Structure 1
Amino acid sequence: MAAAVIPLLVLFGLLLGRWWRSTLITAAVAWPVLLVAGGVASVEPGLLGAAGLAAVNTGVGVLIHQGILRLTRTFRHS
């Protein structure tokens, strides 16, 4: 299951990368909540690691999104 989640978090960042701050915060909060709600993990300090990994994986998608926006703006103005 964990291997399938990484592409989903990257896709989440790709789709909502324009609003990068709220996207990263949402991923960092929602992923641990989903883990606890699904019974995969319990509430413990280790969930901070899960939140960090969710933010990093979503950040990859956000960086790609922002890079595409920057390239589009550069080519549009030239």
Structure 2
Amino acid sequence: MIPTLILFGLVFGRWWRAALAVAALGWPLLLVATGVLGVEPALAGASGLAVLNAAVGVVVHQSVLWLVRNHRRAPAAPPGT
């Protein structure tokens, strides 16, 4: 289940605010809908862990995005070097 949320963060990391909000609300709803958990206090913990796991994917996505943007902005080496 953890890799699912990390992958979700990786894929939707460009829209990180929406991705974290969906993880916080969608994951507990999915757990209740599939019968894994009932409506109980443990859902708050599940929501928190879902956000943390999705945040890992978002951070990786944003880091790669930052590296690519900085690489594109880097000046080209002068000819003859």
Q: State whether TM-score is above 0.5.
A: yes
TM-score by length of 1: 0.93
CA distance in 2 between counterparts of 1:29 and 1:38 reads: 15
**In the alignment, residue 58 of structure 1 is paired with which amino acid?**
A
Residue 41 (structure 1) aligned with residue 37 (structure 2): yes
Percent of aligned pairs sharing the same letter: 57
Q: Which runs of 5+ in 1 are unaligned?
A: none
CA distance in 2 between counterparts of 1:43 and 1:35 reads: 9
**In the alignment, residue 21 of structure 1 is paired with which amino acid?**
R
CA distance in 1 between counterparts of 2:28 and 2:8 reads: 15
Q: Which runs of 5+ in 2 are unaligned?
A: 75-81
TM-score by length of 2: 0.89
CA distance in 2 between counterparts of 1:41 and 1:6 reads: 16
Deviations 1:21-49 (A, max 9, x none): 00000011011001101111110111000
Q: How many pairs does the alignment contain?
A: 74
CA RMSD of aligned residues (A): 0.5
Matched with 2:73 is: 77
